[in-house]
Amino acid sequence: MIDMIISVKTLQEQLHRRIHSERVRFYENNGVITLTPIEEPEIDFWEGLDELWAIFSDGRMSTEKYVTQKQIDKELER
């Protein structure tokens, strides 16, 4: 069993044209290969900058923001 995330650019052109995301989850189990597009949330530059400012402004991150960030990180790993 293999489970990993790969860039769509590494796929052949026929597959690359049909997948409308930058990365896919590659899963192989018993000879069956599944490619699942990964939908990444689009983050506005200024919104992201505001979030960074909030995180580093007092040197600490609120528990709520920490849990939210961990959930986002987990989703991106899948």
Model pLDDT, residue 20: 85
Q: Would you place residue 60 in the very low, low, confident or very high pLDDT band (cuts 50, 70, 90)?
A: low
Phi-psi category of residue 68: left, alpha or beta, with phi > 0 → left and psi -120 to 50 → alpha: alpha
- The answer to whether the beta carbons of residues 51 and 72 sit under 8 Å apart is no
Q: Is the pLDDT of residue 33 over 80?
A: yes
Model pLDDT, residue 59: 58
Global confidence as pTM: 0.46
- The answer to whether the beta carbons of residues 27 and 33 sit under 8 Å apart is yes
Letter string b/e over residues 38-52, b meaning 16 or more CB atoms within 10 A of that residue's CB:
beeeeeeeeeeeeee
Q: Is the pLDDT of residue 42 over 80?
A: no
